[in-house]
Structure 1
C-alpha cells in the first residue's frame, strides 16, 4: 500500500505546505498538504496500474460502477481515465486489443475521442469524425446514461440542432432522470445555443433541482448556472436572490457530504468560488474548511495556468478575513463579471 501511494502521489499535482502534522480528515478538513485533482481511493489504484500499462484495474472499476448503477461515479471516473489516456494511451490500446467489444473500454474511448477534439479550431468536423466511437459506446451501453452524456457533449461541440439534441436528451433521461452529468451537458448546450440567456439557463437548472431527490448532485445545477452568469461577459441581469438561492441549495448539499473527501471537492471548490463572487466570505470560508486538502482545477483555472496557486492565494485571503472578523476576503483581481478567458470545462 505504501508503494502504491508513493506512485500515486507522482501522478497528481500537489503542493506541500510546511507546518504541523496533519490531523484526521473528519476532525479537521484543513491539512498541511494540498492536492490538486486528487483521485479517490477507488480511482487512484486504477491510475497507478494504468501508468504501468495495466488496464485491468480500470476495467474492474468501471464494471463495478456499471453493475451497481453508480452513474455519477462512472461518469467522473470515465472522464478521469480518458484524461489520463490522453497523455498515457498504452494501457487503453492494450484494453482495446484484448477486449475490443468491452463496453467499459468503449466508454473510455468515446470520452477520449470527444475530449481530443475539443480544443481544436476544427472541433465540429473532428467531432463528426469521432461519431462512430460515441455511437459504439451508446449502442453497447444498455441502461447506462454516461454514453449519452458524451453524445450530448459531442452534439454541443458540433453545434447540433435542437431536434438532434432533444433526441439524445430523451435517451439520456430515459435511462437516468436525475443524472447530473447529462443535466450539466444540457445546461451547457442551452448556454452555448443562446449566449446571454442566463434566466433561461437558471429556469432549466432550478426546475431540474426541484425535481431531483434530496442528496442528488442535480441540486447543484443552479450553482453551475449562477457560475456561468457571474463569469460571462455578456449583458443581462439575474436577480441577486436567485443567485443566493442557487448557492444555498449547494450549501445544503455540501452539508450532507463527508468533509475532506475527494468526491465532493469539485462541488465545494465551485461553491466557494461563487460565494466569494457573491461577497459571502464566511460561507466561503466554511466550504474551504470542508474541502480540506482537496483543490480542483475547475473553477480556479479560469485565465491562469496555475489553478493551485490561485486556490491557495484565495484561501489565504478568505482565512485572513475570517481571522480579522471581517465580512469576507477583499475582492480579488478576478472578482466581478469577466470574459470567457480560461479553459473552462465540458
Structure 2
C-alpha cells in the first residue's frame, strides 16, 4: 500500500537525506515530516482507488458533500480530483461511461476542462467550448455553488464583461452567500478586469469579510487580496496599514482552528507569505507552527519549481529572523518592501 500511495497521491514529502531537520525548539515539524498538498482522510483513499482505476470511492466522497451541502469540501475535492485526472484519466472515463448524468462526475469533468483550457495558448477560444460542460454541471444540482465558481473562472478567462459577470456572481451568492471559492473567483476577476487596481480589490475583500461571520473562510479574503498585490509587484494606492489589517483578519481566523489541522492549511500558507512580505517574522513563525506538516503548492510554486523546497527555505529564514534576532515588530518593512529571499512573481 505504501508504494501505491507514493505513485498515485499528488503530494510529496521532503527528502530525509537532502534537507536539514527544523529545530524542534521552534515548535516546527521536522522537514522530513512535511507533506505537500496532502489529502484528508476522505479524499486520500478515493485518490488511491482512482489510481487503481476504481472511481466508486471518489463518487461516494463527492456525493456525500453534495447531500450534506458541504460546499467548501466539495470545491476542494473537485479541484484535487480534476488535478489527478489530468495525468490519470481512466477512472474518470469509467465513471462517466457508467453514470453520464451523475452531478458529481459532471462537475469533475467541467473542472478538468476548465483546467485544460486555462493552460492553452488559445485560452479564450478553448474556453468557449467548455461552456456546455459547466452548464451541465450546474443543472446537476441547483443548490451547488461550485459550478458557479467554475462559471466565474470561465468568465475571467474568456474576458466576459461586467454585466454578465455580475449575473453569474448573483447566481452564486443565491446558492451560498459565504462560499469562499466563489469569492476568490470574483476577486481574481476584479483584479484582472481592473488591471491590477488593488485598492478596489481590497475594498471588495474588506466588504465581504465585514459581512461574514468570524469563523467564515471569507475572513481570509483580504489577505488573499494582499497576496495578489505582492504577486503583481506591489504598486501605488495601498497603504501598509491596510495590508496589516488584512493579515490581522486572517490571523484571527487561523486562531479559530487547531494547530496542524489540514483544513486551514491553505489559508495559513498564503497568510505566512503575506506576513513575510510585511516583515512580521514572529507572526509568520506562529503560522508556521500552526501549519505543522501541511505545506501547499500555492503560493510557493510561484517562486520555484520545487514548492516544497521553497516552503522549507522560507520556513528556515523565518525561524532565524524571528528567533535569531529581535523582532522588528509591526510596521517594520524589509528594504524595498521585500522580505528576505521571497521575490515578486513574474506575471
Structure 2 length-normalised TM = 0.91
How far has the Cα of 1:264 moved from its partner?
1.1
Q: Match for residue 344 of structure 1?
A: none
Q: Match for residue 333 of structure 1?
A: 341
Q: Match for residue 300 of structure 2?
A: 300
CA distance in 2, matches of 1:234, 1:279: 15
CA distance in 2, matches of 1:228, 1:38: 24
Matched ranges for 1:3-42 at <5 A: 3=1, 7-10=4-7, 11=9, 12-17=11-16, 30-31=29-30, 32-42=32-42
How far has the Cα of 1:29 moved from its partner?
5.9
Q: Match for residue 280 of structure 1?
A: 280
CA distance in 1, matches of 2:3, 2:281: 36
Q: Secondary structure at the match of 2:34?
A: strand
CA distance in 2, matches of 1:263, 1:240: 29
Q: Match for residue 89 of structure 1?
A: 89
RMSD, matched Cα: 2.1
How far has the Cα of 1:84 moved from its partner?
0.3
CA distance 1:201–1:267, change in 2 (3 Å):
same
CA distance in 2, matches of 1:141, 1:197: 35
CA distance in 1, matches of 2:173, 2:130: 23
Q: Secondary structure at the match of 2:4?
A: helix
Deviations 1:264-313 (A, max 9, x none): 11111111110000000000000011101111110011132111111111
CA distance 1:289–1:6, change in 2 (3 Å):
farther
Q: Secondary structure at the match of 1:143?
A: coil
Is the CA contact 2:149–2:182 (under 8 Å) kept in the aligned structure 1? yes
CA distance in 1, matches of 2:226, 2:78: 26
Q: Match for residue 165 of structure 2?
A: 165
Q: Secondary structure at the match of 1:274?
A: helix
Which consecutive residues of structure 1, in runs of 5 or more, have no partner in the other structure? 342-346
How far has the Cα of 1:113 moved from its partner?
0.6
CA distance 1:234–1:248, change in 2 (3 Å):
closer
| Aligned residues between the structures | 332
CA distance in 1, matches of 2:69, 2:16: 38
Q: Match for residue 268 of structure 1?
A: 268
Q: Match for residue 322 of structure 2?
A: 322
Q: Secondary structure at the match of 2:342?
A: coil
Deviations 1:11-53 (A, max 9, x none): 2221144789xx9xxxx66244111111111110110000000
Q: Which shifted more, 5-14 or 130-139?
A: 5-14
CA distance in 2, matches of 1:57, 1:339: 38
Q: Which shifted more, 47-56 or 295-304?
A: 295-304
Structure 1 length-normalised TM = 0.91
1:142 aligns with 2:142: yes
CA distance in 1, matches of 2:58, 2:248: 36
Q: Match for residue 72 of structure 2?
A: 72
